[in-house]
Structure 1
Amino acid sequence: MLFRIDPASSQGLADQIAAQVRRALIEGRLSPGDRLPAARELAEGLDVNMHTVLRGYSQLREEGLVEVRRGRGAQIRSGDRAVLRQEAELTSAITELKELAARLGIDRDQLADRIRRA
């Protein structure tokens, strides 16, 4: 999997890394059980701090898309490919919605209220 980051983007580097993994899941380029690049190797390849990569992987773990094990690295969670794809799509949509709300000056609580009313 090829990662690319844009240092000039308003999106954080760790967020860009996580978004690219989500996109690869959505597009079928990653499947359950696939290993992600080692954090150190990816950091060197992207010329970023290893902790930036680990933050991106941590986001994916919190979203339930990736399993991270010390000494074994990160891999796509095992399970139904279609379900993982849908979860990645949902998370991507939520992220885009949060970014749009922030540009419009809508805070998280206001956004949550709007979602509940919808």
Structure 2
Amino acid sequence: MLLTLDLNDPRPLHEQVAAAIRRAIGAGDIAPGDRLPPARDLAHALGVNANTVLRSLRDLRDEGLLEFRRGRGVSVLRRPDGRAALRTRARDLLDEAVKYGLTPDDVVALVRDVGKEMA
């Protein structure tokens, strides 16, 4: 499992780690039923503190994506709901847009323009 973090991302590290794991599950790199490596190993691979990874894993457990089992580690329960994931990203986009003085209507128009360019 190859996870990466963006050092320029302004989000807290635990959110970035959770997003990276969520993406890996959504992309099928990690399937439901698969066990994740120990938090210590993930932390070492990502260059973050083990407590940061544990917080991310707890967040994903609270979302219903992961299951913690004593003696068996952390397993993937299900894939994330794409609509819910996009909703989170849309919130992030709107938060970023506010920094540039854009309204939600401006962002909608921008997304429509990009959609037309991609079609």
Name the TM-score, length of structure 1 as normaliser: 0.72
The 8 Å contact of residues 35 and 75 in structure 2, kept in 1 or not, is answered as yes
Partner of 1:61: 61
The structure showing larger relative contact order (alpha-carbon pairs under 8 Å, at least 6 residues apart) is 1
Partner of 2:113: none
Residues 90, 68 of structure 1: alpha-carbon distance in 2 compared, 3 angstrom cutoff: farther
**Sequence identity, in percent?**
42
Distance 1:86 1:40 in 2: 24
Q: Which runs of 5+ in 2 are unaligned?
A: 99-103, 105-119
Q: Which runs of 4+ in 1 moved over 3 A?
A: none
Partner of 2:11: 11
Alignment RMSD: 2.2
Give the deviation of 1:10 after TM superposition: 1.2
Give the deviation of 1:19 after TM superposition: 1.4
Q: Which runs of 5+ in 1 are unaligned?
A: 78-83, 106-110, 112-118
Secondary structure class of the residue paired with 2:79: helix
Give the deviation of 1:30 after TM superposition: 1.6
Aligned residue type for 1:101: L
Partner of 2:72: 72
* Mapping for residues 80-91 of structure 1, pairs under 5 Å: 84-85=78-79, 87=81, 89-91=82-84
Out of 93, 96, 113, which is 1:100 matched to?
93
Distance 1:54 1:91 in 2: 22
Name the TM-score, length of structure 2 as normaliser: 0.71
Partner of 1:49: 49
